[in-house]
Structure 1
């Protein structure tokens, strides 16, 4: 095993230490981590070679040291296996939107372009149960439209206590999980301000329990005739808080799918979210929320501009802005606005199975002649006096 020497931070150039760490893809003469973090640019070579060296140093450190990226553009093409304590951090944090030009000097400038695939070929892949993985303060871009950021399926174990903070994604196929293989999350936390634009497919397919998916804000929009795919899929997620999402499901997209078995513990609680089409004249063509199973609540929801042309869809018959087909769902304090092409007779809530509890639904926009409508063709529907039940 090759040895290398490093200058200990704060002890001067004469204080040297020998380590036995071998860094694949890096120079054996490179400086080791100093202080309390590993600077990516302290290594030489391509960005992938630098990251290989930094990951080896991080994995060998005890306690784990974070890897700090620079205020520049980076390009990574290799799939990386996560490990407990992995932390990849930008140089600072702050709101970023790569679609907006002319303000680059005001925004954090840590950009990572990923040339990877999806599923097992994603950039980050969990192959065993991990604890305390953190990624923060980075604007990610996909160069090929098929990249996935992070894949950790149930077959590989669980991603425990993962923290994702202030991230931007441009042009990704998936961010966490795939519709066929959800991200296995337990005690996960989302924080900070998120932006997802130029999306190519469902960004979030999630499973697990005991999570706090509560960023300060998340701005996530999708346009196009995508055959009714969802912005977010929650597959057997329980005892989890979801807050502060601004989801724009334009054209052929739907916003949220909730599914799970009858044995699920429930407690998937959404609050303070905007879930809508772009506007009254650029709406979602079908349903915005579909509950097929499990247990979920939606509180303080701004639910707007859906069901403009549900005949566009062939995968199912969309019958309301919210569809409950199974499980148990609670809807409280819902503000709703109609799209220009959506008749007042279109239900805000349509129940064909399961149980739905609906209260305080407020029709806004000045174009309601009566109360919003909730209908039942199966299952159970319990409403209050703010809706017309049928």
Structure 2
């Protein structure tokens, strides 16, 4: 049954198991609420049933609120699905039941104490159609470090996260992804720290849409960190780095194969009057391209930061960065003399960069103090 399908055919319940729980018959989905006990007890039973099934049977949650507090080890073929599919946002009220809310509150920690933890290479893990809430501000959704192999062919579809410390990986221990796919409509709000810290290759981080915003004086932490990610596509992100946060960090080794390709994304502060204080994109290594990017409202007060000196909306200190077909809007507090691109190491190739918003007297500026800068006639190079 597809992720978006409702359970409409009914489920035949077998006799009680030794624990007293009813179990779905062979060939059906495993319904969480066909078991007795607390939500954690039900999930323990359904995970055991799913792991023992051949082929793997998916676990289906109910159209209600759930609470889980135990860390779970992932396994190949694990599928946890909401009852239906659709955009969800816990900030939106008064919808008269129109939003397909299947909510899960997690009372877990981060790293090895996250809700889902990979301890070996897994294949074909899927989570879809669920609105996750953190009860404590320190919860991480899914942790699979490189030391435990890789999360291979994982699919994450139409998910919401509210109040999380991290979603995938941690800045110190990124999520190891190979052939991963993101799909559907995502929302991340009320965030407490960097939600995505990723490494790996051959991925399609391409949801239909992702709305992800972070506000507050957080010392320049990044919304997303890509550490040695190669040959992967990233699309359809709307990243709002308000106040003290930065947007995207890209880093990688000299031997990295490149091919991290962003396209059709918005990376910005909230608006001209509520901007990001520093850089929106920082490239320290690896190979990355940004195409059709809306890059707005950054570098309003970079003196706020002490970890590094922010010099432009896009800073290239190493690696290779290709930036093309870019729309740029200035924050009210950002002078036109502030560079859009600054290169102090590595290479930057800049083309078709257009200043918008009606407050430019000349072309957007690029600068080089080291490395290589190749820019076309749409910018002023210094």
Query: Structure 1 residues 189 and 10 mapped into 2: Cα distance closer, same or farther (>3 Å)?
Result: closer
Query: Structure 1 residues 11 and 81 mapped into 2: Cα distance closer, same or farther (>3 Å)?
Result: closer
What is the 5 A alignment of 1:371-390?
Answer: 371-390=363-382
Instruction: Could you list the structure 1 runs, at least 4 aligned residues long, displaced by more than 6 angstroms after superposition.
Output: 9-13
1:335 aligns with 2:320: no
Q: Distance in 2 between matches of 1:265 and 1:155?
A: 21
| Structure 1 residue 33, shift from structure 2 partner | 4.0
| Structure 1 residue 10, shift from structure 2 partner | 8.9
Instruction: Name which of 52, 61, 66 aligns with 2:58.
Output: 66
Instruction: Name which of 233, 242, 246 aligns with 1:250.
Output: 242
Q: Which has the larger radius of gyration?
A: 1
Q: Distance in 2 between matches of 1:17 and 1:96?
A: 36
Query: Structure 1 residues 10 and 181 mapped into 2: Cα distance closer, same or farther (>3 Å)?
Result: closer
Matched residue, 2:143: 151
| Structure 1 residue 239, shift from structure 2 partner | 0.0
Query: Structure 1 residues 284 and 188 mapped into 2: Cα distance closer, same or farther (>3 Å)?
Result: same
Q: What TM-score, normalized to structure 1?
A: 0.94
Instruction: Name which of 172, 194, 212 aligns with 2:204.
Output: 212
Query: Structure 1 residues 206 and 60 mapped into 2: Cα distance closer, same or farther (>3 Å)?
Result: same
Query: Structure 1 residues 286 and 10 mapped into 2: Cα distance closer, same or farther (>3 Å)?
Result: closer
1:141 aligns with 2:138: no
1:130 aligns with 2:122: yes
- List alignment gaps of at least 5 residues for structure 2: 1-8
Instruction: Summarize deviations over 1:170-189 as a string: whole Å, max 9, x none.
Output: 00000000000000000000
Residue 33 of structure 1 contacts residue 57 of structure 1 at CA under 8 Å; is this kept in 2?
no
Matched residue, 1:196: 188
Matched residue, 2:5: none
| Structure 1 residue 36, shift from structure 2 partner | 2.5
Matched residue, 2:300: 308
Residue 108 of structure 2 contacts residue 139 of structure 2 at CA under 8 Å; is this kept in 1?
yes
| Structure 1 residue 113, shift from structure 2 partner | 0.1
Instruction: Number of aligned residue pairs: give it.
Output: 374
Matched residue, 1:230: 222
Greater alpha carbon shift after TM alignment, 354-363 vs 92-101: 92-101
| Structure 1 residue 100, shift from structure 2 partner | 1.3
Instruction: Summarize deviations over 1:66-89 as a string: whole Å, max 9, x none.
Output: 000000000000000000000000
1:283 aligns with 2:275: yes
Matched residue, 1:239: 231
- List alignment gaps of at least 5 residues for structure 1: 1-8
| Structure 1 residue 120, shift from structure 2 partner | 0.1
Instruction: Name which of 81, 89, 97 aligns with 2:73.
Output: 81
Q: Distance in 1 between matches of 2:161 and 2:25?
A: 29
Query: Structure 1 residues 12 and 149 mapped into 2: Cα distance closer, same or farther (>3 Å)?
Result: closer
Q: Distance in 1 between matches of 2:72 and 2:237?
A: 29
Q: Distance in 2 between matches of 1:152 and 1:299?
A: 29
Instruction: Name which of 91, 112, 124 aligns with 1:120.
Output: 112
Alignment RMSD: 1.6
Matched residue, 2:30: 38
